[in-house]
Chain A
Amino acid sequence: MPSYQMTVNGVDQEIEAEPNMPLLWVLRDLLGLVGTKFGCGIAQCGACTVHIDDIPMPACSVTVAAVAGRSVRTIEGLADGAQLHPLQKEWIAQDVAQCGYCQSGQLMSAAALLKRNPNPTDDDIDDAMAGSYCRCGTYIRIRSAIHSAASQMAANYVNAAEKKV
């Protein structure tokens, strides 16, 4: 069986798998990273969203062969050690989740958005999040939590800059 090198949440991994095995099942079944969810298998629902070289991608529709040599970040790697990402904190503070199943994908889509656009408008958020279904209908709180996290990150950035001065 062929073997593929990749970095997952900062850890080098060597994966033995059929070349057409989607990254989703590499993560869930081979590496035991079950935070990335299976929703549809056809890149329609966003439940399996991960970052590949910082780009949000549906892990169900990217093969292991295509990820070889790349860097993957999953929900398990979103926090900085014990320090939760501001989005994770806001998700808890605003009690976003209902069933919670889609939220890994929602958080990864949102994290990618804030990385490229630290101060998104409602429309920016809608555009970035339109690929992620929530069957429970938590969209209102997701949008609100993204705004709050963005404000906090901006405030943290200012604080850090002041400390440097």
Chain B
Amino acid sequence: MNMKLDRRSFLRVTSIAGGGFILSSVVPGALAEGSKAEAAVTSAELNAFIKVSSDGKITIYSANAEMGQGIKTTLPMIIAEELGARWEDVEVLQSPVNQELFGLQMAGGSTTVPRTWNQMRQMGASAREMFISAGSLVMELPREELKTQNSMVTHESGRSMTFGQLASLAAKQAVPDVETLEFKSREDYTIIGTSISGVDNLVIVTGTALFGIDTRVPDMLYAAYHKCPAIGGTVVSANIEEIKALPGIVDAFIVEGNDDPTELLDGIAIVGTNTFAVFDAKSKLKVKWDESDASTDSWTALVEQAKAKQSQRGDDEIVDKGDVRAAFANPDTTTIEAFYEYPFVAHLCMEPMNCTAHYKKGKGLLDDDTLEMWVPTQGPGRALSIADSMFGLGKDQVTVHQMRLGGSFGRRVYKEYIAEVIEISKRMEAPVKLTWTREDDIRHDFFRSGGFQSVKGAVDKQGKLVAFENHFFGMQHDGKPVSGSRFGANEFPILNIENAYASKTMFEIDIPCGPWRAPGSNTNAFVVQGFLDELAHAGGRDYLDFLLELMGEPRWFDEGNVRSLNTGRAAGVIKRAAKEAGWGRQMPTGRGLGLAFYLSHAGHIAEVAEVSVDANKKLTVHQVTVAVDVGPIINRSGAISQVQGAVIDGLSTMMAQKITFEKGRVQQSNFHDYPVLRMPDAPRVDVHFIESDYSPTGLGEPALPPLAPAVANAIFAASGHRVRKMPLVEEGYTM
């Protein structure tokens, strides 16, 4: 018995990081009885991902944020596969926010699939074993001879019982030891690897409330929040009384912030009976700002500073291996230099930032204040943490509802819009929905940081890369690099060659920056893969051969680290993309192919773009061929979507998107000056998966970085013009 209990406690210990499950039943009391009979099993101690009712309906809870990456469908597919469920019997529900029960409820960094792959399989397999135990008891057959399929426990004799018939008994079975669980082998999969339509699709196409911005609660008020256009400006005064007198306005007041853009900046809250009333009133605000401590950042100044130093090495060394100077000085090598530039960009989620909160004042002593929130967030734990740190509300006082996100791309890891609405609801003592205008959303983003890279490289007489050097110009806040503003010592091709040098110069800025789909990779790929293509041409080489030669023998650069470069996987996708795209075929004048490879978030991905460029620099991207190795594909439809979307997003960003700022003020405000690619300009995207035997990894991000260099290299092939600056509109291109 002790042994059993020990195993259970092991299961519980691992449950938070990824293990454990509970089966419950709609038969009243079944779980309670089971708990008594099996002593250690209580719902409070185990995770709760699966519920099977006696009518055979299987409910699977999805615990992580859905933002378009498809996780709400993907993770339940893994559970259903191991369980032996028939997908048609499965209903997926967003789980409550409870990280003790469900483990880390955070989606981001393309980490959810690799982080929960084993956990989800354990959930499904544990439940499967309990069904088999129950089936064994009822059918009086040895459990070794039973298996689950199509939501049934079956025996080779043809006897079977449904999950529904066995549900209440299964819930009373011993929880198997995680260590004893065996997972299905790939050839037995019936759900993983198929195409399953997103579980919210019916709700989406019928316009039923789903997103955070759709929240409506009784007696809800609507709010807008106006902050200083220069980050960090504080309010001196505002025409509050005039605003309060406007139609539909309930209240308006100045909020004193804490000077932290990730928490609460100074601003004016306007509360009314509908969104239009508060937006309209916001447009009539007259505010006197104190900008003495506000940002004075200037994009043009950053460009000038970087260009002035482009021929020097950076302030700090990143890596120094071999002897690049000797390689560059060698008369038998060809050395070239280039200066690359990429802008700040915004997240531009189609659903602007919003949040709904209901702060209820308690009567004191035993009647504490409470807070209920409906939050579109990548990590609901952050809503809990800010309720605690800023408002002193413990977990027991706060209820968080995880809402579907109308896009995020890294934006909704921040929580300032949550803090704003809590503050407003607390002041109003009423439920309040805060909605940002699109102008707020663009100007008060946490941007993908722009930057510059001054690169230098040498090829020998055979056209082989012999030296690579980079001076990276990045951005920092208070001495710390902002998200993605990095160039590492392991950046390709530094580890692949003998002579490499990289250094950096960091600019201190105030403009908020944050993770944006494939941080760092989405800009480093543009520079490195573009410049390597330049070097291949300088050496008279075909870029495909040049790239494959750099990869060399198949090997991991950091054995055991799935996020490191595996040259075999790299070569695999490079060859596949080239083959599928017809690399090397004769192209008409003005038309060209461009190849790029990039590894990010453990995804090895190669892309070939086929473009035309006319004499007026009108660009047409006809097709992008993508080869992907992220291990086995879980939801084929979702995976293809992520790749197609990343390609179109990458092209959209590369073509025309640029955030600039002067005197600390962001100069763009809405889609008219910050455009998104439209349907007529979307290329065909041809997606190929190499489903290697490695554990599956995420696909929300890694297909984006190779797009920009593939297109830039294709433009060179088509026109002879080398693109070293994004966006393309600034280089004179149109679509």
> Which residues from chain A sit less than 8 Å from chain B, CB to CB?
1, 18, 20-22, 24-25, 28-30, 32-42, 44-45, 47, 74-76, 78-79, 84, 87-88, 91-104, 107, 125-127, 129-143
Contacts and interface: CB of A to CB of B under 8 A. Distances in A.
Nearest to B208: A35
Contact of B407 (A78, A99, A107): A99
B350 A25 contact: no
B206 A99 contact: no
Contact of A41 (B207, B277, B405, B437): B437
B351 to A, nearest CB: 5
A88 B435 CA distance: 28
A137 B644 contact: yes
A102 B350 contact: yes
A98 B70 contact: yes
Q: Which of A45, A84, A139, A141 has the most CB of B within 10 A?
A: A139
5 contacts: A34-B213, A39-B350, A42-B672, A100-B198, A140-B685
A34 B350 contact: no
B205 A135 contact: no
Contacts of B644: 137-138, 140-141
A45 B671 contact: yes
B641 A95 contact: yes
A30 B437 CA distance: 19
B71 to A, nearest CB: 11
Contacts of B276: 18, 21-22, 24-25, 29
A139 B682 contact: yes
Given A29-B274, A37-B351, A18 B679 contact: no
Interface stretch (B478-486, B570-578, B647-655, B714-722): B647-655
A94 B195 CA distance: 10
B724 interface: no
Nearest to B408: A99
Nearest to A77: B207
Contact of A103 (B195, B205, B248, B275): B205
A119 to B, nearest CB: 18
Q: Which of B276, B349, B680, B684 has the most CB of A within 10 A?
A: B276
A98 B350 contact: no
B671 A142 contact: no
B462 interface: no
B96 interface: no
Contact of B275 (A28, A36, A78, A138): A28
Interface string B216-256: 10000010000000000000000000000001100000000
B498 interface: no
Given A42-B671, A138-B641, A33 B679 contact: no
A93 B202 CA distance: 10
A117 B419 CA distance: 48
A25 B274 contact: yes
A137 B648 contact: yes
Given A88-B205, A101-B407, A107-B205, A95 B638 contact: yes
Contacts of A44: 670-672
A1 to B, nearest CB: 8
Contact of B198 (A20, A95, A101): A95
Q: Which of A28, A38, A125, A129 has the most CB of B within 10 A?
A: A38
A114 B407 CA distance: 28
A36 B204 contact: no
Contact of B679 (A36, A47, A132): A132
B408 to A, nearest CB: 8
A38 B682 contact: no
Contact of B438 (A24, A40, A97, A132): A40
Nearest to B73: A95
Interface in B186-222: 195-198, 200-202, 204-211, 213-214, 216, 222
Contacts of B209: 34-35
Given A1-B247, A136-B68, A137-B645, 17 more contacts: A18-B247, A18-B248, A25-B274, A25-B275, A36-B207, A38-B435, A41-B437, A42-B671, A88-B206, A96-B201, A97-B198, A99-B404, A101-B211, A126-B679, A135-B649, A138-B641, A140-B682
A1 B677 CA distance: 41
Given A126-B680, A137-B645, A41 B200 contact: no
A37 B685 CA distance: 28
A140 B640 CA distance: 11
B207 A38 contact: no
B599 interface: no
A38 B439 CA distance: 13
A34 B672 CA distance: 25
Contacts of B647: 137
A88 B205 CA distance: 6
B352 interface: yes
Contacts of A100: 68, 198, 200-201, 204, 210-211, 404, 406
Closest CB pairs A-B (n = 10): A35-B207, A137-B648, A101-B406, A99-B68, A75-B207, A98-B68, A44-B671, A137-B645, A126-B680, A100-B204
A88 B208 CA distance: 13
Contact of B351 (A101, A132, A140): A101
A140 B210 CA distance: 24
Contacts of B196: 95
